[in-house]
Amino acid sequence: MSGRLVEGPSAELIRSAYRLELAAAPSLLPELTLADLAHVLTLLDGGHVPADAGRRLVVALLELGASGATGGGGPGARGAGLDPAQGDLVMNREARLRERIGGDAGYLLVGRPRREAATVAFHLAARRRLLSLAGALERLQTVLVTLAARHMRTLAVDYTYWQAAQPTTLAHALLGYAYPLRRDAARLHAAFGRVDLSPAGAGCTSGATLPLDRAALAESLGFAGVVPHARDANWQADLAVELSAIAASVGLALDRLAEDLQIWGTREFGFVELADRASRVSLAMPQKKNPYALVFVRGVAGRLIGRLAGAAAVARTASGQPDPRIFAQDEVPAALELAEQAAALLAEVVDGLRFDRERLAAAARRGYLAANDLAELIMMRRGIPFGTAHRIVGEAVRLALAAGREEDGIDAAALDMAAREVAGVPLGLDDAAVREALDPGAAVARRTGIGGAAPAAVRTLLTEQRRSLRRQRSWTAARAAALAAAEMRLLERARAAAAG
């Protein structure tokens, strides 16, 4: 398009800026076709374009949608038939249409700036990928809940600072990874509501001059409503930041699980082994089985953090600048897709894990992990302040470990020796009470409160998690069905218009 400019873009501008702007564009092409069809059909319904020209435009858009120019023509801009010399995604679309129908392609620009077309496509693409990510989070939570139900009585160790802290069960430990994913799902649902508002028909900064029915346009694309402010509709830099933050939060939740599994899977721990299908052999060291899938998940977290930082950095600009659209908006759907892939992979990994129950239980028996319980027993039985009881038990543990006894090194006599050293008086507890306090299985059974590791408390957690998953699946299925139905109706309208 010329007019205001008397010369075309320089070769350097094309090679650098235009090429970069098109790099992620192919992923938006299917959604751009839907946005274009809805716009042209609305123009036709309002009598804003000649009927014959509008029909030819619809036919050409349907042809583009069925060809490789929808993004299926190969990887990258070149594979999708995009040419940096033509400018951005919207101008490339007009160029392809001009090749088919000549000057009638110009009617696509009626009542709509380029950023509106790209922004509508972005909303559609982000919406679709949010639903895909929601499904992956649901699958991973389901696998964790299913696995937890099998290990309600499998003793394990809870770590803080990667130091053995307290005895727990494998079920309780696994459910601890499900809750952050559930919060991420809630954040995703809330963000979806903002993405599911249509910028279509908003026009330029102060609104559209043509009386386009924005509500009908939104409905044709399956949106729940419209962005109310015309300028805000096309300049929502915060939306890219929010969606990037959700992808990064998911990545971090996945990373924590992957990192813990990688450590648990070392020979030194030996708690778990990955299935061969999630591993990779070392080409140099025949004995090694590398947990490659976990390394990939950890790397994804780092990349998603970078995407979030980039989205925030380019949003730090005066309003009305194209920086977020050029440098972040196209990358957000890719970030959501990467998070979905990592979540789906980790669900597969967890589903194939093989836990060594004996090693887990043996680790829970070493190191006096129920020492806190013993201190509380002393406090309650002897009326000693907890701080003093804590020091007595700490002294007893220190002496037992110094003697090389990680297990069964603390009895009533050893406790009295420590009490005399710390408080100047013996405690007089019996051996049975000391053994019961330090027994890891008994310690787990005592944790019956809300959120505890006792089997009854874990059953309550499982029931609640299954209820949450049913709600999550219902939410995702309902929205996916609504979007699919809206797209089908739009395409049926377009085919009818094309047929005349």
From the list 112, 64, 82, the residue with the least C-alpha distance to 20 is: 82
For residues 45-67, average pLDDT: 93
Q: pLDDT tens digit string along 158-167?
A: 999 999 999 9
Q: What is the pLDDT of residue 80?
A: 60
CA–CA separation, 198 and 425 (whole Å) = 75
Tallying the residues shown for the chain, one arrives at: 500
Structure tokens, 60? 């050409």
- Which strand (E) or helix (H) includes residue 437? helix 431-438
CB 50 within 8 A of CB 41: no
With beta carbons less than 8 A apart as the criterion, state whether 166 and 370 touch: yes
Question: Which is higher by pLDDT, 471 or 81?
Answer: 471
Query: Could you read off the pLDDT of 8-22 as tens digits, one per residue?
Result: 889 998 898 888 888
Q: Domain 371-438: which topology?
A: Ribonucleotide Reductase Protein R1; domain 1 (1.10.40)
Quick check: 426 and 413 in contact, CB under 8 A? no
Average pLDDT over residues 407-425: 95
For residues 63 and 337, give the distance between their C-alpha atoms in angstroms, rounded to a whole number. Answer: 27
**Cβ proximity of 98 and 86 under 8 Å:** no
Region 306-313 average pLDDT: 94
Domain 11-110 sits in CATH at 1.10.275
Nearest in space to 493 (alpha carbons), one of 4, 11, 189, 45: 45
Confidence band, pLDDT 50/70/90 cuts, at residue 2: low
Tens of pLDDT, residue by residue over 350-387, are: 999 999 999 999 999 999 999 999 999 999 999 999 99
CB 67 within 8 A of CB 100: no
Do 407 and 397 form a contact (C-beta atoms < 8 A)? Answer: no
Calpha distance 103→448 (Å, rounded): 75
Query: Mean of the per-residue pLDDT values for the chain?
Result: 93
Q: What's the pLDDT band for 70 if we cut at 50, 70, 90?
A: very low
Q: Give me the residue label for tokens 């007089």.
A: 428
Residue 76 has pLDDT above 70, yes or no: no
Fold for 116-363+458-488, please state it. Answer: Fumarase C; Chain A, domain 2 (1.20.200)
- Where do the structural domains in the chain lie, given as residue ranges? 11-110, 116-363+458-488, 371-438
Radius of gyration of the chain (CA): 31
Question: 281 and 291 in contact (C-beta within 8 Å)?
Answer: no
Average pLDDT over residues 321-329: 79
H-only helix segments in 288-330: 292-315, 323-324
